[in-house]
Structure 1
Amino acid sequence: MNNVEQMLLPSIMVKNGVLKGCNTVFSERFGYQAQMLNGYQLKDLLTFDSADAQSYSTIEWLVQHIDKPQQGLLKNRHYYELPVEVVCQRSNVDELCYDVFFRVLEDKSLDSVTGLPNGWAMSSRANHLLTLPTKKAPQLAVIIFRVDNFSTLNFRQGYNVGDEYLETLGKKLVALFGDDYLVVRFSNAKFGILVEDYQRASKIDFETLVTNKCQAICDITKQPMQLSDNVKVHKSFSVGVSELTAKYSSYFAMEIATETAMHQAAKFSNSKFIFATSELTNKLLMRKLIIDDFPQAIAKQQITQHYQPQYCLTSKKLMGLEALSRWHHKELSHISPAFFASIAEDIGLNFEFDLYVLKQVCQQVKTWLDDGFNVPRVSVNVSFKTLEMPDFVKRVTQIIEASTCPADLIEIEVTETTSINNINNLINHVRQVKALGIHIAIDDFGVGYSSLSLIRRLHNVIDKLKLDKSLIDNLCHTEIDQEFIRHIIELGNVLGLDVLAEGIEHQEQQALLQQLGCKFGQGYFFEKPQPSAQIVNYLDNDKQHAVLKQQ
């Protein structure tokens, strides 16, 4: 190694295995100032992968291989282990000292756009601090924020402008927080700050400190960011903060909590910071667990169907059943069907899930028929997204044929969960399904955005409108709701459609619905959803009287 290399490479001086100093290059490259290294032993920073090296102290191994390059791992200031090539030489200053030079082989802890440390650095440092004894550990807070709608900047102005914005923002953050805080860029337009309090301030003072820092981040957005070529960019931030009183077992748990709060902050149109809570974090962890287990739950048929009876309000006779999915998770117990159904759409499993339910229902109907029961029509919820899928009609046909279930005993409830992306596909598929003999109902009528449009275009193939439970809840309390429901029932009469009220829970609601002209209903006032084994009691009791409307 020549003199020029020695001047340019990071180096430290070691005496008896203890660090005695470092050059400026070492400080700049690894983040340590000379005074910070006082008392450190070389083994605290440097380790070797070689099995042979395990029998020696770190300095002994280097002395054994004086002037010969060795490969090891060096921890930077943030405790991120960097792969390095190490060369040890005798010092010209003190014969008992050694100079150790480092050449970084690879550094994944730096962001190439901003020059800031990245998420690896944050993870390494936070995990180290979380493992320190209580007396030595600082109070910690993680702040994570993202630039809202950053992709539009790249799209409109180009990636060069986007990169300049990120670089400029990074410099502002470093200037704002100084060297006492770790400022990182995770990815895209997401940044993080690790707040460390070694003075053990009171909880109120620490919360005030973190709150002020978050507000300072939000204040950056009060004025447009000035870039080169007189370009000005005005963006808002969504800021999440870890729960200050929580006892986090790892940085991963801390990060999940903080990002959950960040997503909550994103619901606002201006720059906003929100502290994480256990409730928010638990919901996100539950969501992740459901996402991970959903495909297996379908494959192993762990999601089963309960059936809620539907009655004629006048005769009180059974006229139908609605299939409602139930999932008893091994860790989460009973999961709300609305919750896991929405997740199915988010992760693109809605198509397979809806058809899975249809298949289970068709097989159950056929079993009841084979057992001699007079089965009423059974309704199945199908989302807009599923109805739009190109293979929907083909798959439905295959299920009906494979199960040999009579098509006219199945009713598809068109459920509005998202906006319609392909209205023509949806309408054509509804018409084709109707041609198979399957009945069509519009679910949650009166609360969705697209229901009226669908009725206008599909009134000649629709059989039923289902009044949403939210309309029934206030039925006995406001005249407005009563009039609203009356007009929906009148619309159904004009179009020749049945109207069924969902969510009837009281006798007063049932009586008032009858007065308004509603013919059918379901809800806890009649029966809760029940497993198929219990539903046979209703089929048996009503065997001679099951009402099945024939169109």
Structure 2
Amino acid sequence: MNNILVNLLFKGCDMVLRKFYNILWGKFLDTKNTEYKKMQDKIKESEEKYKSFFEKNGAAMFIIDPESFNIVEANNAACIYYGYTYDQMKSIKIQDINILSKDELKRYINDAKSEKNKRFYFKHKLSSGEIKDVEVYSGIININGKDYLYSIVHDITEKIMFEQKLMIQKSYFEQLFENSPDAIAILTNQSKVIKVNKAFETIFGYNLDEIKGKYIQDLLIFKENIKEYDFLTTKVIGGNVLRQEIVTKNKYGKLIYVSLLSYPIIYNQEQLGIYCIYTDISERKECEKKIEKLAYTDSLTGLYNRAYFIEKLNSEIRETENKKIMIMFIDIDGFKKINDTLGHIVGDEILRYCANIIKKVINIKGIVARIGGDEFVVLLKNITQKELVDISYEITEKLKDVVIMNYQHIHLSASIGASIYPDDGIDAHTLIKNADIAMYEAKKNNEGKVHIYSSQDLNKIKKEFILCNDIRYALDKGEIQIHFQPIVDISNSQVVGAEALARWYHKELGYIPPSEFIPIAEKNKSIIDIGNYIIKTVCKQNKIWQDMGYKKIFISINISAVQLQEDNFVDNLYKIIKDTGIDPRYIELEITERVYIEDIDNIIQKIKDLRDMGIKISIDDFGTGYSSLSQLSKLDVNKLKIDKSFIDNIKMIDAIMSVATILNLDVIAEGVENEVQLTFLKSKKCKIVQGYIYGKPVNSTEFEKYIKVEST
């Protein structure tokens, strides 16, 4: 019974327990199913997300079986990138797109499996055959207990090409930098050395180790030029490119001329440093110096020439502020005659001699140049006008020394004109021109003198220009007239002759004195036509007076050196005398000491020819030249005419009368104006005089009264 009860109880309990268990398990299963479902949903959602991430990712992605090298999965981006369909992608192996050999691929796959490396760089082949550079990220994934490799592919073809170009450019730069024949330095913005090339070491003697971090100007620039160089560097730091020729030095202090190209190194609109290229131009500079010497140096004297002087003078004018610049124009007196007489070899020696004299006097005070022929110019700064005059006179005095060349004693002298900046001009051309004008004034006043330019000089030159032009037409316009001044025998006050004097009455300027127009006429050779006109007119007029029964007198005519130099002068004169019918005894020719001193041999012969024709010769203005007694004795002349400047000089009169007595010559005193002078000359036994005391020069009509009265 008990057993039955127990069994029944157990069965009852078992039924209860089973029923209770079933109730509890059902509830548990319901709970678990709910959680499982949720988990499944999450897994599914996650799978969808990853699937979407894989399939829709813009990067090419695929999964590889590391054993077979098969591509087991690929996303759409991979298909598009490689140019295959999805099915085609899954049917190919990795070696179909990777150009490496199978063994090489196996090694890389093993590296990826062991996670020794996760990033790889390959060349992949597209379906078109085009090769692309790719970066592949590979990692291990386990699917159903098996390891696979998933790969993310990025096309880095452009990046590789860019890097290659960058490397090429870097290589170019390095090769250009190191192999450039020019010295190159890379500097900080503070001009400290960062890097230099081989040429820098060759040219300047420094290697990088000894100068890195040092200031470039302390290495290459002379101390006196540091400020100028710093100023140039400031321009580059300001973002400017600099091209400049500068003077540098090497490690040993040797001067090196360089052409500097310096420019800022800019990155992202920020200046990182300075790039400097130094081209050695020392050889070029030496050549330029030689060329400049040839271009700017007078080959004969070694002085500077006109081109250099003008350039230097204009440069000084630009740089000078409120300071005087003095210009001297020096002309060697009578140099043409030296050249013509002694030859060009001696003339060249004279020019070199004069150049050395001028250079020694000027020394470091200024610049000396020869600008042509026998003309020299000097530029002086920071001196007073008195110092200018003193220097000028020092030059003229030193040039007065007698020079002996080819056994010839040569007496030199110079005339000097000066102009002053800015008073007499503000440019080189004007200053030189005005100094030249002043020199001619000095020469007119007296050779061997000094003259400083004034505005009046320019007026004179302008007037001379007008006269030089107009005198060529003066005869045709009837502006040249001939006046006659009586020559008197003081023993009886009888007119024995007359001097024919040319007068120019310019229609606009009025009366032009002979002292003004004769030198101009001689210079432009118009004196030849004027002289012939005077000779013809005088011969014709004297013959008319004689034919009219007037007293027969001689008429003296002044002859220019230019006329006497004409080869046919004697023949022309002979023809005029013959044509007019005048007796040659009543024609006298006057020549000055200067004329026969300059060309004594030629004059001696011509005077002889004239004397043979019966024409008398007088030496005019005797005493004003430097003729010697021996020279005078060689000339077959008849008279000496005492210059009016000596009329009151007892000693000169005595000397001239003595010379005349020795040479058996007659004497005529010019410029006698009063009784005192006349009485004095009488006491000195001077018989013939000419001057205002007896009459001024008058035209032919008025002069007739002197000879008409006497003839009656």
DSSP 3-state at the match of 2:536: helix
Aligned to 2:615: 438
Aligned to 2:559: 382
Q: Deviation digits for residues 475-515 of structure 1, max 9, x if unmatched?
A: xxx4x3454355356447xx3x5432221111122123223
Please tell me whether residue 412 in structure 1 is matched to residue 594 in structure 2: no
Alignment gaps of 5+ in structure 1: 1-19, 29-92, 94-109, 196-205, 223-235, 545-551
Aligned to 1:114: 296
Shift of 1:126: 9.5
Distance change (3 Å), C-alpha of 1:207 and 1:520: same
Q: Deviation digits for residues 141-172 of structure 1, max 9, x if unmatched?
A: 562556979999x958999x98xx99xx9xx9
Alignment gaps of 5+ in structure 2: 1-239, 248-265, 267-291, 298-302, 399-412
Aligned to 1:354: 531
8 Å Cα contact 2:415-2:439 kept in structure 1: yes
Q: Deviation digits for residues 374-416 of structure 1, max 9, x if unmatched?
A: 4522111224564454312101012222333333321122332
Please tell me whether residue 507 in structure 1 is matched to residue 675 in structure 2: yes
Please tell me whether residue 526 in structure 1 is matched to residue 694 in structure 2: yes
Whole-Å separation in 1 of the counterparts to 2:656 and 2:512: 31
Structure with the larger helix share: 2
Alignment of 1:306-345 (within 5 A): 306-329=483-506, 333-345=510-522
Distance change (3 Å), C-alpha of 1:418 and 1:379: closer
DSSP 3-state at the match of 1:326: strand
Whole-Å separation in 1 of the counterparts to 2:379 and 2:578: 59
Please tell me whether residue 539 in structure 1 is matched to residue 707 in structure 2: yes
Whole-Å separation in 2 of the counterparts to 1:467 and 1:117: 47
Whole-Å separation in 2 of the counterparts to 1:498 and 1:238: 36
Aligned to 2:646: 471
Alignment of 1:256-295 (within 5 A): 256-261=433-438, 275-295=452-472
Q: How many corresponding residue pairs?
A: 411
* Larger deviation, residues 356-365 vs 120-129: 120-129
Shift of 1:185: 8.0
Shift of 1:543: 2.9
Distance change (3 Å), C-alpha of 1:321 and 1:148: closer
State the TM-score, normalizing by the size of structure 2: 0.44
Q: Deviation digits for residues 316-344 of structure 1, max 9, x if unmatched?
A: 12111101122234565444424443444
Aligned to 2:58: none
Shift of 1:310: 1.1
Letter in 1 for 2:614: G
Aligned to 1:39: none
Q: Deviation digits for residues 424-446 of structure 1, max 9, x if unmatched?
A: 44233223323333233333345
Q: 2:482 aligns with which of 305, 322, 326?
A: 305
Alignment of 1:125-204 (within 5 A): 141=325, 143-145=327-329, 190=376
8 Å Cα contact 2:414-2:449 kept in structure 1: yes
Whole-Å separation in 2 of the counterparts to 1:378 and 1:260: 38
Letter in 1 for 2:703: I
DSSP 3-state at the match of 2:483: strand
DSSP 3-state at the match of 2:594: coil
Letter in 1 for 2:437: T
8 Å Cα contact 2:671-2:692 kept in structure 1: yes
Whole-Å separation in 2 of the counterparts to 1:488 and 1:246: 51
Letter in 2 for 1:537: K
DSSP 3-state at the match of 2:711: coil
Letter in 2 for 1:484: A
Letter in 1 for 2:296: T
Alignment of 1:167-246 (within 5 A): 190=376, 208=384, 241-243=418-420, 246=423
Whole-Å separation in 1 of the counterparts to 2:439 and 2:328: 7
Letter in 2 for 1:472: I
Distance change (3 Å), C-alpha of 1:126 and 1:381: same
8 Å Cα contact 2:592-2:622 kept in structure 1: no
8 Å Cα contact 1:387-1:430 kept in structure 2: no
Backbone CA RMSD of aligned residues:
6.0
Whole-Å separation in 1 of the counterparts to 2:601 and 2:368: 50
Q: Deviation digits for residues 158-205 of structure 1, max 9, x if unmatched?
A: 99x98xx99xx9xx99x988xxxx99985577557598xxxxxxxxxx
Whole-Å separation in 1 of the counterparts to 2:626 and 2:368: 44
Compare relative contact order (CA 8 Å, sep 6+) and give the higher one, 1 or 2.
1
Q: 2:577 aligns with which of 394, 397, 400?
A: 400
Distance change (3 Å), C-alpha of 1:537 and 1:422: same
Whole-Å separation in 1 of the counterparts to 2:690 and 2:704: 17
Distance change (3 Å), C-alpha of 1:252 and 1:327: farther
8 Å Cα contact 1:207-1:244 kept in structure 2: no
DSSP 3-state at the match of 2:567: coil
Q: Deviation digits for residues 208-246 of structure 1, max 9, x if unmatched?
A: 599699979x99xx9xxxxxxxxxxxxx99875424574
Identity over aligned residues, as a percent?
30
8 Å Cα contact 2:488-2:689 kept in structure 1: yes
Whole-Å separation in 2 of the counterparts to 1:349 and 1:418: 18
Distance change (3 Å), C-alpha of 1:283 and 1:319: same
DSSP 3-state at the match of 1:417: helix
Distance change (3 Å), C-alpha of 1:416 and 1:21: farther
8 Å Cα contact 2:484-2:501 kept in structure 1: yes
Whole-Å separation in 1 of the counterparts to 2:692 and 2:617: 24
Distance change (3 Å), C-alpha of 1:142 and 1:439: same
Whole-Å separation in 1 of the counterparts to 2:485 and 2:388: 53
Shift of 1:472: 1.6
Distance change (3 Å), C-alpha of 1:24 and 1:421: same
Distance change (3 Å), C-alpha of 1:238 and 1:507: closer
Q: Deviation digits for residues 425-470 of structure 1, max 9, x if unmatched?
A: 42332233233332333333455444744663455xx443333323
Shift of 1:521: 1.2
Shift of 1:255: 3.2
